[in-house]
Amino acid sequence: MKKLTFVILLTAMMVVFSTPVFGNSGPVFWQGYPSSDVMSIEENSPIIVGNENLVFDFSDTNGFSYSLSGKVTAAYEMLNPTQETRSVQMAFPFVGKLDNLLAKEIAITADGRELPYDIYIGDVVNSHGSPFQKEGEASFDFASIIDTITDDTYKAENFSENEKGQQYIIEVKPTTAQRINFAVNFSFDPEKTKVLTTGFNRYEGDGVNTRVAAWCNEPRTLEIFVLGEDIDFEINGFTDGALEEKTDLFNYEILDQKVELKRYLLDYIDKNSYTQNGNSILNKQIYDNQIYKKQLYNLYAKSLDQAFTRNRSYSAEFDLTEKENYERILTLVYTVEFPPNSTKEVSVSYKTAGTMDNTQTAEPLYTFDYILNPAKNWSDFQNLNIRIITPQQAPYIVASNIELAREDKEANNVYTSSLPTLPDEDFSFTIYSAEEITLLDKMQGNLNNSFGYFAPLVIGVIVLIIIVLIIKMSIRIFQHHR
């Protein structure tokens, strides 16, 4: 009987620990941010919104920051009831990253004709990016957002935009197949000199003496930009990471020139950050926009200014490029012309991503928020029509603060709602892979949340214990009746 028990137990263990159903990863929570309705910059605007058709289309979704993404289109029927021609400036704020914002995914039209727009770069959203904890709710004060829309040039504490610096371009070339660790030593007075380095991946400094280095296994271009009192370089090559084994198996050439700081920063952005990818935000249409160039300069100048203050007048290029990766408020500003007593069909479409939460259920919950309250800036708002086309991997809406009707119960993935005016609250809905969240789903989610990536192992142990208890009870019953 003991041998039989061991065989049954061994078989159960093999089944438990090889079953793919327990192969889910641990709990993750990737923060998404609200989408927003269009608002008018003009106070006391007479424009009336007679109708808004709001469509969330996830039918062609793909992964975006570990969540689901889809296309949002807000189409408005707008009326100018006055006897005057009105030129109405509008703002559309949303949250995005500069390094993955694609111009082809933004479209603004009036009566079917594309409208030009300017992009204003706003503040960073409070995001730590941790996949294991929820964030505090981000603040989206639209009055404050509008206050950030400015064409003023950033005024730095550590430099002026027209200040000229010395640009050192260092061309390094190893002379053999062996890679070398190219090091530059220099000293400077933080009160008289400020230094920005690009291309280097190592930094050592004690407040006076500084050493930067970069591995080179092929020809490489490095740069040092100096503001204020000039500096002298001591250059060495090494074969080791500790910078102890010197080598002369390399050549280098230093070119230097005077460059205005603003020009230097814009040239750096052009070469290194945005134009390498044909789909990037800085395609010719956007990058040639002088307002956007000023926005980029403001962003990088502010980052450089803060780095100089924080690091005693030294900055590496990472201090600038990291700003591309932050979630921040971006605002599209455009103008619609309304003849007297006229109606315009205005449409805005863009890409949105939701919050993915795998801490509550067996499969992820995807929540999408849409801020409706900016539309209250219009003289009047009537008829809000909502249509949601859910994705195949999460076709069911399991939570919504606006009542939704499933349009096609066989297709399971189209939900609609019609309201005579704006609701009191902003819109939020959650989609899931099943029509209902069962108790088993919640139990799985609680285990994920409690044990993280060890949840599958914990579940396996629990199942194994249950199997062992059943086996023992069966043996006792068998022995009792024998």
Task: Point out the domain boundary residue: 325, 342, 368.
Answer: 325
CA distance 268 to 274: 10
Question: What's the pLDDT band for 449 if we cut at 50, 70, 90?
Answer: low
Residues 179 and 310 in one domain: yes
Identify the domain boundary among 289, 307, 325: 325
In a domain, 159, yes or no: no
d(CA 197, CA 97): 24
Q: Which domain holds residue 299?
A: 164-325
Query: Coil, strand, or helix at residue 340?
Result: coil
Q: Residue 337's domain is classified under what CATH number?
A: 2.60.40.3680
Q: Does residue 198 fall inside a structural domain?
A: yes
Q: Are residues 213 and 303 in the same domain?
A: yes
H-only helix segments in 311-452: 318-321, 439-451
Integer CA distances (angstroms), 410 to 272, 402, 414, in order = 50, 22, 10
| 118 in a structural domain | yes
Indicate whether 156 belongs to any domain. no
Q: Are residues 366 and 317 in the same domain?
A: no
pLDDT at 326 over 60: yes
**Residue 219 and residue 313 in one domain:** yes
Q: Which of 55-69, 143-157, 282-296 has the lowest mean pLDDT?
A: 282-296
- Do 178 and 293 fall within a single domain? yes
> For the ranges 7-16, 364-373, 425-434, 443-452, which has the lowest average pLDDT?
7-16
158 lies in some domain:
no
pLDDT of residue 14: 43
Q: Residue 320 pLDDT more than 70? A: yes
Q: Total structural domains in the chain?
A: 3
Token pair, residue 61, equals: 């979704």
| Residue-level pLDDT at 456 | 55
pLDDT score for 111: 98
Tokens of 126: 């409070």
Give the Cα separation of 101 and 91 in Å (integer).
18
Three-state DSSP class for residue 317: coil
pLDDT tens for residues 355-377? Answer: 888 888 888 999 988 888 888 88
Whether 157 is in a domain gets the answer no
Same domain, 189 and 249: yes
Are residues 266 and 219 located together in one domain of the fold?
yes
68 shares its domain with 122: yes
Whether 80 shows a pLDDT value over 80: the answer reads: yes
pTM of the model: 0.74
Domain identity same for 387 and 446: no
**What is the edge-to-edge ordering of all strands in the sheet holding 180-187?**
202-205, 209-216, 180-187, 234-238, 246-247
Q: 182 and 313, same structural domain?
A: yes
In a domain, 191, yes or no: yes
Domain final residue pick, 325, 354, 380: 325
Give the pLDDT score at 19: 31
What pLDDT score was predicted for residue 27?
39
CA 332/CA 116 separation, integer angstroms: 10
Residue 218, pLDDT score:
96
Question: What's the confidence (pLDDT) of residue 409?
Answer: 64
Mean pLDDT over the full length of the chain: 82
Q: What pLDDT sits at residue 281? A: 45
In a domain, 154, yes or no: no
Backbone angles phi, psi at 353, to 5 degrees: -130, 145
Residue 132 has pLDDT above 50, yes or no: no
Angle between helices 290-310 and 261-269 (to 10 degrees): 110
Give me the pLDDT at residue 52, please. 96
Q: 229 and 318 share a domain?
A: yes
Q: Which residue has the higher pLDDT, 271 or 132?
A: 271
* Predicted confidence (pLDDT) at residue 2 exceeds the cutoff of 70: no
Same domain for 40 and 15? no
